[in-house]
Amino acid sequence: MAKKQFKTESKRLLDLMINSIYTNREIFLRELISNASDALDKRHYMALTDAKYASSDPLKIDIAVDKKARTLTVADNGIGMDKEGLEKELGTIAHSGSADFKQAMDDKKSDVDIIGQFGVGFYSSFMVASKVVVESKTVDAPANRWTSEGEDGYAIEPCDKESVGTRITLYLRPDTADVKYDDYLESYKLQELIRKYSDYIRYPIQMMVEKSKPVEGEKDKDGSQKYETTEQLETLNSMVPLWRRSKKDIKDSEYDDFYKNKFSDWEAPAKVIHYSLEGSLSYKALLFIPAKVPFNYYAQEYEPGLQLYSKGVFIMDHAKDLLPDWARFVKGLVDTEDVSLNISREILQQDKQLQQLRESITKKIKGALVDMLTKQRDKYEDFFKNFGLGLKFSIYNSYGMNKDELQDLLLFYSSHDGKYVTLKEYTDRLKPEQKDIYYCTGKSIEQIKQLPQIDKMLAKGYEVLYLTDDVDEFALSIMHDYGSHEFKSIQNADVDLEDEAEKKAKEETAKANESLLAKMKEALAGKVKDVRISSRLTTHPVCLVADKGVSLEMQKVLNKTPEGKDVKAEKILEINPGHEVFGALQKAFASDPSSIGRYSDLLYQQAMLIEGFSIDDPVAYANEICDLMVAASGHGQGVDHGKDAPAAVEPEPAAPKAEKPEPAAEKKDNTGAADAK
Ligand code: ADP
Ligand code: MG
């Protein structure tokens, strides 16, 4: 029979299992039982709507040992696998659990310590077995046998098996000095493992167990009661699911193990939400907030939703209607008496009870998050870094419908003390005269800190939220306000916090420089809506602000999409009258008004760059700067950039003369060049 090779990605996992020096090998049994339980769930679920899946025998898992042959068998009468199934499921890591594990291994590069924490799946049987045989049959197809001795691949052939389901036989490895594989042939050991790892499995796990029984009416030679040893079929698990047990009897480690195993995560959850409600709506829920973003969270294949059980019976996986969109990161299950067993996904959507269920679950999740926010701030911040984006998206996508629900769960980085704050914290410490909530947007906190608009706000003691996610400003504009406090961008024209004196000074300067400003505006026609004197700048010569409507950040975000590529903010160029560059402009305007066009353009372009926009012609901009440097250093009459160079207005050579132009800050270049006139 031809051997087939395992897929490469499976091979590594397999190697790991075969050569494992991991001492906790016993988890293989948990993995096989959990697969059997899944297969039983699937059959049960199919049988709800299709009679051919119905089983005449009760669904169960059988464990058997053969001490002579040194085999351990785990059999189920579940859904089974056909030839393709065996090939696909056991020849590749196509399934989530093991793929996650492999990812974790690749990330961590350490072999052994995480095996036990993870749903490593079927291949873990090679930790104890030198040969594994899987015989399986579905309701539609004849039975097949899959055989593998590990590294050298596997083979599949037809076999005799009448009943639907899967039987997995492990040929245990010979004992070594360190490891007693024989233990897995002992019923006491198997009982212990099943109680430890698989107690809550909903189907009976049965095994023939040796029992000594008193023999009626017979005495031993010494006159004591005579006993005989018989074999008896026993159910080894209590079959009470974890979520049906009382919270106070459950250890944290039990929750963690349950979560890791059931939801294929190798890290314990950040939060466990376990509760039971009785009343008009009765249900039990066991929910988890993962500690890390699932690796496929942002991929199409990520399936949000909870498992739905009815009276302890599994109904469906990924019932996404049980969760609000913003909580799609929550994993877990809900067990309710109120849903009929053969409910379909379509009915589920419309079901009134389900809607109530969802509302109730939503409330609980929110409550748990608020609790975490108030009592475990660090943990909450980690949570928010992981999943906060989704909350903001949800506010935006719902047009602010869930604003009330979510606004107090949001965190933003604040200038206050460089920490993440809630909107409540922000508004609780507004300055006496402050009404609005100020924010500023940019690519990163560092970039925002450098923005020209920010210095004065901070100097005046205003707290500013630094927004770095694309969705932030969209979410805030949909929310409009928090309490009675509106969100205002300090990169927008309508926010200026000038006092009377500043306002007066600004107006006077504007008046005195009316024609200069008009000239600049004319030069920048089509690029900016206005050029005006600013009261918001301290160390920078210019900045851009947006007029009402689309903000600077929104333009950037929208321009990334095909529909939004032409969206433009209405920009206003503001000039700092206290800056040397303004003096230079005034001088240039007096001596050579025709130079203003060129300088305006340079200032506009640097303002664009500082705001994180790209400029239309970076080469021309760079050439201009070079020209100015050369002119400032007195090294000539400009550089020949070829025919594309703009018709330069030649500034006069300037003193002081330097041998080489220093690579000075932009501001200085401009100032120097302009002063030279
Ligand atoms: P996972 O359980 O995370 O999917 P496993 O490695 O444990 O990964 O199992 C791989 C796949 O093999 C399962 O998804 C399932 O399709 C199939 N499988 C394993 N055991 C059984 C079984 N007893 N009955 C039916 N299918 C099974
Ligand atoms: Mg599994």
| Ligand showing the shortest atom-to-Cα distance for residue 34 | 2
CB 207 within 8 A of CB 64: yes
**Cβ-Cβ contacts under 8 Å for 642 (sequence gap 6 or more):** none
As a dihedral over the C-alpha atoms of residue 352, residue 353, residue 355, residue 359, rounded to 10 degrees, the angle is 140
What distance in Å separates the CA atoms of residue 237 and residue 195, rounded to the nearest whole number?
6
**Cβ-Cβ contacts under 8 Å for 23 (sequence gap 6 or more):** none
CB 217 within 8 A of CB 256: no
Q: What are phi and psi of 485, to 5 degrees?
A: -100, 120
CB 556 within 8 A of CB 526: no
What distance in Å separates the CA atoms of residue 649 and residue 669, rounded to the nearest whole number?
16
CB 544 within 8 A of CB 603: no
- The finding on whether 550 has its CB within 6 A of some atom of ligand 1 is no
Nearest CA to ligand 1 atom 16: 89
As a dihedral over the C-alpha atoms of residue 336, residue 338, residue 342, residue 348, rounded to 10 degrees, the angle is -90
Sign of CA dihedral 318, 323, 328, 332: negative
Please name the helix (run of DSSP H) or strand (run of DSSP E) that holds residue 129, with its range, or none: strand 129-137
- The finding on whether 100 has its CB within 6 A of some atom of ligand 1 is no
Sign of CA dihedral 512, 514, 517, 519: negative
CB 460: neighbour CB atoms within 10 A?
12
| Nearest partner of 427 among 351, 352, 482, judged by Cα | 482
What distance in Å separates the CA atoms of residue 155 and residue 157, rounded to the nearest whole number?
7
Positions of the chain with pLDDT under 70: 20-23, 93-120, 313, 338-350, 636-677
576-609 b/e (C-beta count within 10 Å ≥ 16 → b): bbebbbbebbeebbeeeeebbbbbbbbbbbbbbe
Residue 461 gets the label, from left (phi > 0), alpha (psi -120 to 50) or beta, of: left
Sign of CA dihedral 218, 222, 224, 226: negative
User: What is the secondary structure of 515-573 as a DSSP string?
Assistant: HHHHHHHHHTTTT-SEEEE-SS-SS-SEEEEE-SSS-HHHHHHHHTSSTTTT----EEE
> Which of 29, 37, 95 for mutating ligand 1's site (highest number of atoms within 8 Å of CB)?
95
What distance in Å separates the CA atoms of residue 634 and residue 615, rounded to the nearest whole number?
28
* pLDDT confidence of residue 370: 97
| Ligand showing the shortest atom-to-Cα distance for residue 99 | 1
User: What are the residue ranges of helices labelled H in 199-268?
Assistant: 252-262
Strands 412-414 and 313-319: unpaired
- The finding on whether 138 has its CB within 6 A of some atom of ligand 1 is no
Q: What are phi and psi of 229, to 5 degrees?
A: -95, 125
**Cβ-Cβ contacts under 8 Å for 127 (sequence gap 6 or more):** 17, 18, 20, 22, 25, 28
* pLDDT confidence of residue 649: 44
Neighbour-count burial of 663, counting CB atoms closer than 10 A to its CB (0-12 exposed, 13-18 middle, 19+ buried) = exposed
pLDDT in tens, 220-276: 888 888 888 888 899 999 888 889 999 999 999 999 988 987 887 889 999 999 999
What distance in Å separates the CA atoms of residue 242 and residue 262, rounded to the nearest whole number?
12
- The finding on whether 98 has its CB within 6 A of some atom of ligand 1 is yes
CB 603 within 8 A of CB 573: yes
- The finding on whether 166 has its CB within 6 A of some atom of ligand 1 is yes
Kindly report the pTM of this predicted structure.
Answer: 0.69
Q: How many Å lie between the centroid of ligand 2 and the Cα of residue 80?
A: 14
> Which of 38, 53, 73 for mutating ligand 1's site (highest number of atoms within 8 Å of CB)?
38
Q: Is the peptide bond before 656 cis (omega within 30 degrees of 0)?
A: yes
What distance in Å separates the CA atoms of residue 184 and residue 71, rounded to the nearest whole number?
9
Strand ordering across the sheet containing 530-533: 530-533, 571-575, 542-546
CB 653 within 8 A of CB 612: no
| Ligand showing the shortest atom-to-Cα distance for residue 14 | 1
The DSSP bridge partners found for residue 487 are 437
Kindly state the DSSP code that residue 623 receives in the 8-state scheme: H
Strands 283-289 and 331-336: antiparallel
Q: How far does the chain reach from its first CA to its final CA, in angstroms?
A: 92
- Token pair, residue 125, equals 């049987």
Please name the residue that has the structure tokens 């994993």.
Answer: 331
* pLDDT confidence of residue 633: 84
CB 141: neighbour CB atoms within 10 A?
15
- Token pair, residue 356, equals 């109530």
- The finding on whether 26 has its CB within 6 A of some atom of ligand 1 is no
* pLDDT confidence of residue 98: 52
CB 645 within 8 A of CB 637: no
Long-range contacts of 417-420 (CB under 8 A, 24+ apart): 420/381, 420/384
* pLDDT confidence of residue 265: 84
CB 519: neighbour CB atoms within 10 A?
19
What distance in Å separates the CA atoms of residue 74 and residue 559, rounded to the nearest whole number?
58
- The finding on whether 61 has its CB within 6 A of some atom of ligand 1 is no
* pLDDT confidence of residue 150: 86
Q: How many Å lie between the centroid of ligand 1 and the Cα of residue 260?
A: 16
Instruction: State whether residue 240 is helix, strand or coil.
Output: coil
Kindly state the DSSP code that residue 44 receives in the 8-state scheme: H
- The finding on whether 99 has its CB within 6 A of some atom of ligand 1 is no
